[in-house]
């Protein structure tokens, strides 16, 4: 494993804990030996480069720093990392990616080079681009990066005609979903999923216990139908019920008394909460990434509105059948094949008996 690959692994350990800051990993080496490592801590605490420099101590002088993202060069919650790198006597810096933040982009590199530090950009750039795709969208638009996740059979069903959906996929795929939740800032479902499955929507460890840090749970519930006894209202972390701004006060009060935070949103012509408004509110709260877990109505509405940035599609070697069995994406759908979504940059991975297809939807012109 190269030092930059190690830095990427360190960065991934921090995913889901650093927003709205990016998750960064850093490694300091001298004469081929790793003398310092670090990754971004939660907001207000040290950045990855500072952790690696502190661990390296005096051995930073004349050393090489590998970092997954261009170091910050402006004062925020913490001092600029570029100043610390220069003061530590680092001789060379390898950057996997330039920071997409307009306040930094290229300036951190320029500061280092002005101090006589040799800077190399682009090592493991593909992996870094994927690592920072959500941060790049949020820092430039203010909106979260939306990933649609679903599990279906070979014939495109997510449940039987009776509504039974446990389980479409096997344990390996379900553990992958847990990892996705751990790395996401928010998990989103519709009220129909709450009513049908009563999910916990928690990030859990390998023993099934909820982790201390939980993604924000978001339920799209235009008419305040979420039951007071829903399990997700009793789990660690915060649950937001996004409902109509015209919702009766008594129903709002009932959900708040049950432990939910109620977000009143405008409604669209279909009578459902406006997804653009909900995502804008989440972005304002510092939510960088949203894992939309469905069901079909929610995912269909997100696709109809052009709000899906990425897809995680689990496919199980099962045939469910049934003309009334639900499919993963509902909504209005494409009126013609020329108006469908093309999924590009696809990647296929086997997880136990199941397959995970990852890709990026692009509207056909």
Q: Which residues are catalytic?
A: 49
Instruction: Give dist(CA 276, CA 220) in Å, integer.
Output: 12
Give per-residue burial for 314-350: e unless 16+ CB within 10 Å, then b: bbbeeebeeeebbbbbbbeeeeeeeeebeeeeeeeee
Q: How many CA atoms lie within 13 A of 120 on its CB side?
A: 10
Query: Strand, helix or coil at 99?
Result: coil
Q: CB count, 10 Å around CB of 256?
A: 12
Q: Which CA distances in Å does 355 have to 40, 45, 100, 320? A: 32, 38, 32, 17
343 neighbors 311 (Cβ within 8 angstroms):
yes
Give the tokens for residue 278.
């909900």
CA distance 215 to 187: 6
- Compute and round to an integer the Cα radius of gyration of the chain: 22
86-118 core/surface letters (b: 16 or more CB in 10 A; e: else): bebebeebbbbbbbbbeebeebbbebbeeeebe
Which of the 8 DSSP states describes residue 210? B
């Amino acid at each position: 494993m190269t030092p930059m690959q190690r830095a990427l692994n360190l960065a991934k350990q921090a995913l889901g804990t650093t927003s709205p800051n990016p998750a960064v990993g850093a490694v300091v080496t001298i004469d081929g030996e790793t003398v310092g490592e670090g990754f971004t801590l939660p907001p207000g605490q040290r950045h990855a480069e500072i952790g690696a420099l502190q661990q390296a101590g005096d051995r930073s002088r004349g050393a090489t720093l590998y970092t997954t993202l261009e170091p910050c060069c402006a004062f925020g919650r913490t001092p600029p990392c570029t100043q610390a790198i220069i003061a530590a006597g680092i001789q060379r810096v390898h950057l996997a990616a330039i920071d997409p933040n307009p306040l930094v982009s290229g300036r951190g590199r320029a500061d280092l080079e002005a101090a006589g530090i040799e800077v190399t950009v682009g090592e493991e750039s593909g992996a870094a681009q994927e690592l920072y795709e959500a941060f790049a969208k949020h820092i430039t638009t203010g909106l979260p990066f939306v990933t649609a996740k679903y599990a279906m059979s070979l014939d495109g069903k997510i449940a039987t005609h009776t509504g039974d959906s446990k389980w479409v996929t096997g344990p390996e795929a379900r553990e992958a979903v847990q990892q996705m939740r751990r790395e996401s800032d928010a998990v989103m479902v519709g009220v129909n999923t709450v009513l049908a499955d009563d999910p916990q929507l928690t990030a859990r460890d390998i023993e099934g216990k909820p982790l201390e840090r939980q993604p924000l749970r978001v339920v799209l519930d235009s008419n305040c139908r979420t039951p007071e006894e829903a399990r997700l209202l009793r789990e660690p972390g915060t649950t937001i019920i996004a409902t109509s701004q015209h919702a009766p006060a008594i129903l709002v009060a009932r959900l708040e008394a049950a432990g939910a935070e109620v977000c009143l949103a405008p409604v669209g012509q279909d009578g459902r909460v406006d997804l653009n408004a909900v995502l804008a509110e989440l972005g304002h709260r510092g939510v960088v990434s949203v894992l939309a877990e469905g069901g079909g109505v929610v995912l269909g509405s997100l696709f109809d509105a052009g709000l899906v940035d990425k897809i995680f599609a689990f496919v199980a070697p099962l045939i469910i059948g049934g003309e009334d069995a639900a499919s993963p994406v509902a909504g209005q759908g494409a009126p013609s094949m020329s108006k469908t979504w093309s999924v590009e940059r696809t990647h296929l991975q086997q997880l136990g008996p199941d397959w995970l297809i990852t890709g990026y939807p692009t509207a056909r012109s």
